[in-house]
Structures are given as C-alpha cells and as structure tokens.
Structure 1
C-alpha cells in the first residue's frame, strides 16, 4: 500500500488502500456500489444481478457470504434459503451439493463467491461476513486468489472483522463493525472512544434506530482519521444528493439507474 493524495484522506498516517481506487474511472468522485448486485429486481446476489450492474458501468459490488456445511463460500445474504429461493433450510447445515440446487426467484442459481471473483476480475467487492464460519474460508480465498486489492471485508460484528484483520495482516482492507462506528460517532461529538486502527472506511446506515449516524460532523471526523464514509442502502435520489453534499465517499444502492443518474448529473459518474 502507498500513501496517495485524496481530497478527504489527508489525516495523519492516512493510507490509500487500492480497494478504494475506481478502476477505469476518468474523473475522481464518490464510489457507486451495487448493493447485492442491485437487489431491486429480486435477483439479489446472483451472477445475473452482478452482470447487469457491470453492464450499467458499476465497478464496486456489495455482497454477503455464508459457509455451507462443507465449507464452500456462498454469496448470499440470509442464513436460510427460505426468503428468496425455491428451497428451504439453513445454509450452514447444508452441503454445497444441496445449496447449489436452490434458485433465487425460482430461476437464478446461487453463486460461490470464488466464481464471482473469477467472472468479474476487474471488480472491487465489499463483502459482509454474515456468520463466523465464513471468516476463515473468506480470508483463505482472498489469499489464494491474491485478491487483496479487490476485497474489503466488513461485518456488523467488530470482533469478527478484527479477527479477519489479524488473520490476514495489513494487506486486507476492512471497514468498521457496529462497535467501531459507535466509537467514531462518539469521537464526532468530542467524546473519548476507542476505535480499531487499520480500517480504511466506515460503512454505515444514514440513520439507525431513529438516530442519525451520518452528518457533517461524522464525515469530517472520519476524514480526519483517513477513513472514507460509505452509506447504505440509499435508494432515493434526494437522499443521495443530500449525502453527496455532505461529502460522503460512496453510496450503496439497490436502485442502480437512480444512483447512476444522480452521479451523472453531478459529472461524477465514472
């Protein structure tokens, strides 16, 4: 990793991780993330969804991973197959041979995360570790495929992300879990709070339990620590505009055409 200039990342010791680059972009600007590949059409976390996102010009994808009973790493959000597929059962209790027969919306197969890395070699991946059994297989996959520059690991569990960072070392890009975000929010109010060193971004909801997370103070505090701020999951154009005006560095959305139109109007699309 090298120290590179970024308009928001000039705090002491700020390090620009290659994951934060926008490959192929012709102008600087915020990162557009296709959340679960663009979940609005009901085909979330499928290769078909990510192909559509890529065709629209997205280069950063968000996905989730679970490990099957035999240790295969599936790109899927829920712990069970029930909500979005034609099958039933907990992924952690099923072998890959059974999980692979499930179809999202009754027509699209569940992909292995390794297959997605291979099919989209230029893409950057934001990966949410949904359960502890997926942690070691994910780190091993990143190491085996030398995908250090292409993957940022996150989780609601700060302990889970911290463990991934310890196992992988400084080449791994990570975001904060809930505890890290809380520490950053408290620091934004001028209160002392511990925050894990080594993260490259804070990936946060705009609000949580009716309380605002992202405001100008939060963004400035993150930037002062050399962190980008990525906000999820924003599907309304007016909210996208307001967040971009605050200076956030990335937006995750299900509504791919909406975010592209907002960024295009601001001369910030790719």
Structure 2
C-alpha cells in the first residue's frame, strides 16, 4: 500500500519513503505534498491499518517479543531527537563579517517531530525516538515540541487552546515536505510495524500538560494495540520536567503521582539541566535521567554519573551532535545518546563495536574538550538551567511545592 506520488520531490528526501507499507523497500523517494493539499499522507499508519498481529502465530509473536526485549544490542543506544530532525533542513546563507568576507552557514530544521522525521530515524537504525507531547482542546494527543504552532507550521495559537478536529489536523509544516502534526496514535502505529518493533519511544511530557488528563489518555492509546503489554509498553519511557503542579493550579497534583497511578509500568526519566535539581526532586522517584551534555562533563557530572551507576539509574544525554561529544558519551557508557543526527551516532557506535580503537581520541583532545566551548563552562550551563527552571516554575508552580516526604 503506497500513497499516491506527486511529481515534486524534495531533494532532502531522496533517501527514503515513509509512505510505503511495512513490506516495501525504504530506498525510494518521498513525494512532497502540495501546499494546498491538506490530506494526511500517513493515514495508513492508523492502528486499523497495521499488520494483523492478533492473527500472528505463537512463534512469530515470541520472535517479536524477543526483539522488543533485546533491541539492537548496542552498548550505548542512539535516540533520534524529535526524530531525525537534522535530515530535514533548509539552508540559508548570510553575509556575516565585512572584514573576513565570510558566509556563515545556518541550518533550520523544518520537519522535526513529524512522521517523516520519525520514519527517517528508524531507517537510520536508531534505537529510540525522543519526541514531545501536548493535549489539544478536544482531548487528542499530538507530538509537537512548542506549546504553540507558529515556529515550524502554517498554524497559529496554543495547542491546548485549539481543537484537533478541523484546526490542527489541517496544519502543515512551513517547508516542504509539508507534513501534518502527528498524533500519538500514528507514532505508535509506526513503531508497531515489524521492522521498527525494537525502537523505543521517549515521550517528553511538556509542563503545559495537565498530568491527570494526560497519563490516562496515553494509557488509552497504548491499549488500542494488540499485545501492547509485551510489544509496546516495554519500549515507552515517560520523560518529566516537573515534579509539582501546585502553585498555579492547586487542584492538580504532581506529575510523579499521576504517573505512578496511571502508568506504573512505564519507567520515568527526569529531563533536566541541573544535577542539584535532579538530586533534590527526582532521584528517588525516577528510574533514569535525561541530562544536558554540558552538565555531565564537569567534575560534578563525573560524580553524578558514578552514583547513577552504583544506584542502577539510567542516564541519557541530550542533544549530542558533535563527534567528540558522541565519543565522550560512549566512553562514559551512558544508556543513550539523544541526537539530531542518529545516522552519524549509529555509525560511530557500530564502528566502535567492530574496532574499539575508533573510540580513542588524543589526550590533548580529551583535555581540551571541557574548555572548548563556552556552553561547557559551569556559569554558562548554570545560567541556562536557571532560565529553564524559571520557565518551568512560571508554567507549573514552584518545585518546592513538592511534599517534603517526596524530596530526596
């Protein structure tokens, strides 16, 4: 089953076709949707269009369950940040400096958090996908980073104030290939295709969400799939930024409690830019931590990683796009590297597996790395962490609203 092709093909998409069925080759081109065509080219990804897993024989089900458990067997996994977002970008050139007469190359990701981006990450061999979730006004779950639509799409307004039906369903990305905003159900359907049955999904639960509504809705979507307990739920990770929701919304409980109540079978990962914040508010109630790379490269980061290893806590690192940073993560032995370029990270991990010496860097490179960028300096990433916490507390209440008995 293949969606109808148009004659216009985006040059950035010649490597794969996310609109083909699970049995077809991935090495074909992807048609870009005309700007006036608002039809969804991914309707085949709905649960009803899945291969009929319910009728699979017992041996086939056992094989699928084995692939879910074992994944691809990489010591360090690669998770595509908002899919393979760096694969879909437009290039702009700007005259930057009169004296140097130099053009600076700026990239703009145009298809992040789309089914095309998720399908590309799967094709690139990613072990997982990191994406963000929001609730619409009519209780649909969409995978989108920003709380409002205008940065990457032709829509406007805040997602939680807009309905899916008749509004968000018609929104498309600004640049070709003009992609719709995907529903959680469509992303889950993509991951239930047999060739993607090993791919994990790290759901970044944005602080604008009401967890009391959100988590039962996520569970309801999981339950729509046959054998979801063994083939789907073991691959889902719940990422949370905030442990409390009390100051602005005293009637709503904390993120952690609703997660424990409605999704106790999903591991919880705190997403954070500050090690002290993780230690105080998340360490005992979360199974793992999704951490900003610069926070882990410091002496404090070394101690934190060692403690996580002793306590059995998983560590994922974001957003890692430079090869030296990727190598550093592999040397650390973290669970996962979250990157805009999963094809590059997967290639490096597989190369190191074949030849461990590929992981080596010169002593000078390793010595210089923590000082090679201003973002690695403690004052810089501490300032970024403060900005992030100010935003979280403005949207979700102060962290100190967490009951003292729940704090580490």
The TM-score with structure 2 as length reference comes to 0.54
- Give the helix-richer structure, 1 or 2: 2
Structure 2 unmatched ranges of 5 or more: 1-64, 89-109, 224-231, 245-253, 355-408
Q: Which residue, 192, 195, 211 being the options, matches 1:135?
A: 211
Structure 1 unmatched ranges of 5 or more: 1-17, 186-192
Q: Which residue, 159, 176, 188 being the options, matches 1:117?
A: 188
User: Does the CA-based 8 Å contact 1:34-1:256 persist in structure 2?
Assistant: yes
Which residues in structure 2 correspond to 1:16-165 (within 5 Å)? 23-25=70-72, 27-40=73-86, 41=88, 42-97=110-165, 98-106=167-175, 107-121=178-192, 122=197, 123-133=199-209, 135-144=211-220, 145-146=222-223, 147-159=232-244, 160-165=254-259
**Number of the residue aligned with 1:207:** 294
Larger radius of gyration: 2
Q: Does 1:253 align with 2:329?
A: no
**Number of the residue aligned with 1:262:** 348
Residue 180 and residue 136 in structure 1: after superposition, are their counterparts in 2 closer, same or farther (change >3 A)? farther
Residue 100 and residue 34 in structure 1: after superposition, are their counterparts in 2 closer, same or farther (change >3 A)? same
Q: Does 1:230 align with 2:316?
A: yes
Residue-by-residue CA offset, 1:42-80 (whole Å, 9 max, x unaligned): 211101111111111123110001111111111000011
* Structure 1 stretches of at least 4 aligned residues deviating more than 6 Å after TM superposition: none
User: Does the CA-based 8 Å contact 1:205-1:214 persist in structure 2?
Assistant: no
User: Does the CA-based 8 Å contact 2:203-2:239 persist in structure 1?
Assistant: yes
Aligned residues: 240
SS at match of 1:127: strand
The TM-score with structure 1 as length reference comes to 0.79
**RMSD over aligned Cα, in angstroms?**
2.7
For CA contacts below 8 A with separation 6 or more, give which structure has more relative contact order: 1
